[in-house]
Amino acid sequence: MKRFVYSVLASFLLIMSAPAMANASSADDLINIGKKYMGTKYVWGGTTPRGFDCSGYTQYVFREAGVSIPRTTWTQYTTGKAVSKSQLKTGDLVFFNTAGGPSHVGIYIQGGKFIHASTSQGVTITPLNDPYYWGKRYLGARRVKDFAPKQPVIEYASRAQVAEILANDLNLNVTTTSGEQAPSFPDVPTSHPQHKAITAVAAAGIFSGASDGTFNPNQNLTRGQLAKVLVEAYGLQGKSDLYFNDVPTTNWAHRYVNTLAANNVTLGYGNGKFGVNDNIKLKDFKTFVERAKASATNVQ
C-alpha cells in the first residue's frame, strides 16, 4: 500500500513539475519563454523552476515551446545540426567547454548574447564573447529547430485614426467647421476617444457616415477611400497622365486617385496598380498626408 501511495505521489510531482506546453511560433517566442525564469537559482541536476542546471534549463524552455531535446549537455550537443558562429540565429543552442568537452549550454539571442543557467547567477543573459570567461570557452552551436521568421505586425489605418490625425493636422473642431448642428453617429458616443475629431471631420464634409447613419470608427480605410479623403481635406486639384490598371475611368475613385498622382502624393505600387481596394497602412497614410500637405502649400 505504501509503495502504491509513493508511486502515485511521485507521478503527481512529476506532472506538476512539467512545463505547460506551448508551440513557439518564432525564436523570439522561445526567448520570451526563457526570460520568464530569469533569476531562477542554479541547482545541480535541477530541471524545474525551483532550480535549474544548464541543460535542465534549456530542455525545460524548449519543452515549454513544444520542442523536445535530450536532457544532458553532451546529448544536446549531438542533436540538431551544427551551426558556425557566424551563422548563429536566435534559438540556437550554444555550447562551452568549462570542464572538458561540451559542459555548459545556453540559448543564443540575436545581438551576441545567450540566456543560460549560470552556476553563479542562476538564469541570466550574458555576452557570448565575454572576454573574461565565456568567449574563450565557446565550443560550438547546434540548431534543433528552424523557427519561422517572426512576421511583422502591420497596422492599418482605421476611420477613427484617420479622423483624429486629420482633425489635428487641419486644426478642425466643430465650431470652426460648421455653424450648423454637428453630425452625430450612434456608434460614436461622446465617450468615444475620437468623438470630437470624428464629429469635426464629418462637419467639415471630409468624412461621411454609412447609409445606416453609423460611422464605423474601427473599420479600416481603403486606399481608394483615402484618396477621396485627402483630396477633399487638402483641396487638391489637377490631372495626371499616370494610369493605374485597377482604377479605370469607370471606377468611382478614379478622379481622386488621379488627383493624388497629379500632386505627387502617390505613384502606386510600381507594378501598374494603385491597390484601390487594399486597406491603407497607417505608416503609408501618414506619408500620404505629408505629401498632400506639401502639395497644398506649394499651390498656395
- Report pLDDT digits (tens) over 229-269: 999 999 999 999 999 999 999 999 999 999 999 999 999 99
The whole-number average pLDDT for the span 40-51 is 97
Give the per-residue pLDDT at 171: 93
Q: Do 135 and 45 belong together in one domain?
A: yes
Higher-pLDDT residue of 18 and 237 is 237
The active-site residue out of 116, 192, 195, 254 is 116
Q: Verify that 292 and 242 share a domain, yes or no.
A: yes
Residue 13 has pLDDT above 90, yes or no: no
4: confidence class by pLDDT, cuts 50, 70, 90: very low
Is pLDDT of 64 > 60?
A: yes
Note whether 208 and 233 are same-domain residues: yes
Q: Is residue 2 part of a domain?
A: no
Query: What is the C-alpha separation between 56 and 106, in angstroms, rounded?
Result: 10
Looking at the structure, do residues 111 and 169 belong to the same domain, yes or no? no
Q: Evaluate whether residue 53 is within a structural domain.
A: yes
- 106 φ, ψ (degrees, to nearest 5): -150, -175
- 151 found inside a domain: no
Q: Are residues 173 and 253 in the same domain?
A: yes
Give the mean model confidence (pLDDT) for residues 175-203: 81
> Are residues 74 and 124 both part of a single domain?
yes
The separation between CA 262 and the C-alpha centre of its own chain, rounded to angstroms, equals 35
Residue 19: name the closest of 83, 73, 66 by CA. Answer: 66
- Asked if 268 contacts 260 with a C-beta cutoff of 8 angstroms, the reply is no
Q: Is the pLDDT of residue 211 over 70?
A: yes
Residues 73, 165 within the same domain: no
The boundaries of the domain holding residue 131 are 17-143
Per DSSP, the three-state class of 47 is strand
Position 261 scores a pLDDT of 95
- pLDDT band of 209, cuts 50, 70, 90: confident
Predicted pLDDT of residue 21? 54
Instruction: Supply the pLDDT for residue 2.
Output: 44
80 or 295, which is more confident?
Answer: 80
Q: What is the pTM of this model?
A: 0.56
Query: Do both 169 and 280 map to the same domain?
Result: yes
Helices H, strands E: what count in the chain?
A: 11, 8
The one catalytic residue among 54, 192, 195, 254 = 54
The domain that contains 124 carries what CATH number?
Answer: 3.90.1720.10
Q: Which of 112, 143, 174 is the last residue of a domain?
A: 143
CA dihedral 154, 160, 164, 165 (to 10 degrees): 30
Please tell me whether residues 192 and 282 are part of one structural domain.
yes
Domains held by the chain: number:
2
Length of the chain: 300
The pLDDT mean for the chain works out to 89
Measure the CA dihedral 182/188/192/198, to 10°. Answer: -50
| Better-scored residue on pLDDT, 20 or 67 | 67
The yes-or-no answer on residue 116 being catalytic is yes
- Reply yes or no on whether 54 is catalytic: yes
Segment 148-153 shows an average pLDDT of 76
Q: At what angle do helices 223-234 and 254-262 cross, to 10 degrees?
A: 60
> Among 117, 143, 169, where does a domain finish?
143
Characterize 39-73 residue by residue with b for buried, 16 or more Cβ atoms within 10 angstroms of its Cβ, and e for exposed. Answer: ebebbeebbbeebbbbbbbbbbbbbbbbbebeebb
